[in-house]
Structure 1
Amino acid sequence: MFCLVTAVTAAALADPFVEAASNAGLFGPGRYTDHSTIDVVPALAVAAAFALLYVVMRARPALADRSRALARRLHAIDRAAGATRLATLFPLIFIAQLATLFVMETVEQIAIAGHPLGGTLWLGAPVPIALALHALACAVTSALLTHALGALTRAAVRIGLFVRGVAMVRTAAVPLFSRRRRSFATVRIHPLATRAGKRAPPFLAA
């Protein structure tokens, strides 16, 4: 899931900058883009949804294990985030990023021109330059998301533990309040005490 989040995010963030540089003529004459970036916002929305799903999936195990202390849970999350080994995952993330970029640009071209424009137009720049820029975006995005998703996961664990603690306190307080109400409701006055006011004084009865 981390690879998917990073790939979609890197593709969505790098694409408009690469195309803007191409449209400005920084890479020489030639048509390298379709002069549209309408695919960026939907891609970022998908990346945000994947990121939320990733945080939920990482936070749930820490919340499910009630026997651990908060510090141990957060330490486990940090170790898991640090063990992602970006150098090992980088090729997979980069391939997924390029595949995401191809899908984004192809759908965008169909929406604009009615058909794919073909060639390497989906890269947004000359092939060597485009691959280098997207690889750089992949590396930077991976490093940033490793820390950002770890921080969001730790925050989610803290919020979840706080909400669960409040719910447990309220659940424990409701039966106690109910027992007190029942104890007050069951108190009755002794029958002799209710008849004491209706009897004549002893000296008149004599």
Structure 2
Amino acid sequence: MEFTILPVTPYQQNCSLVWDADGRAALIDPGGEAERLLAEVAARGLTLEKVLLTHGHLDHVGAAAELRDALGIPLIGPQREEQFWLDLLPQQAELFGFPPALAFTPDQWLEDGDRVDVGSLRFDVLHCPGHTPGHVVFYQPQARLAFVGDVLFKGSIGRTDFPRGDHAALLAAIRDKLFPLGDDVRFVPGHGAMSTFGHERRENPFVDLASD
């Protein structure tokens, strides 16, 4: 598997472009700048098959509907509880100063334990609520690489002070679903630098296993 991280918009959220050996590709969390993302796909000679979404916050889905309309490709994920946030996209855009955004419904909802294929690549789906109720994580087992959205960051964790946030659920998802994947597993967060689950398990003060 090949991938590159493309920070987009003034919020510098991480959009990830992933592809297999035959150039079949997906974008994960295209938060904005659709034209730039499509230019990157074209420059690499890739065929974009689908868009994967970890959660419904505008800074992670801002270009999703535009990409679907432009290419006729499906939007996959998150978990169906995220319709709550997707319905609020117009208000999110106004609140955060983004271009106007329309509410949408993905072409496919995901559940814990599902699998998403991108060409020859398989991504395992983990439902990891807390930051938002329907947040999912995409894990590629052969590459030992996870795309975790806003669940976990290098040295921090996702906010839970938004509507329907749940701090206890977020910690449970990190401790019980992500960390057991293995200390060597690298992850791409929704913002900032990559890290490993092992580093965060040992060093991240927000997920100290001795605390609740």
TM-score greater than 0.5 by the shorter chain: no
TM-score after normalising by structure 2: 0.23
Q: Which has the higher strand share?
A: 2
| Structure of greater relative contact order (alpha carbons < 8 Å, 6+ residues apart) | 1
Larger radius of gyration: 1
Q: Which has the higher helix share?
A: 1
TM-score after normalising by structure 1: 0.24
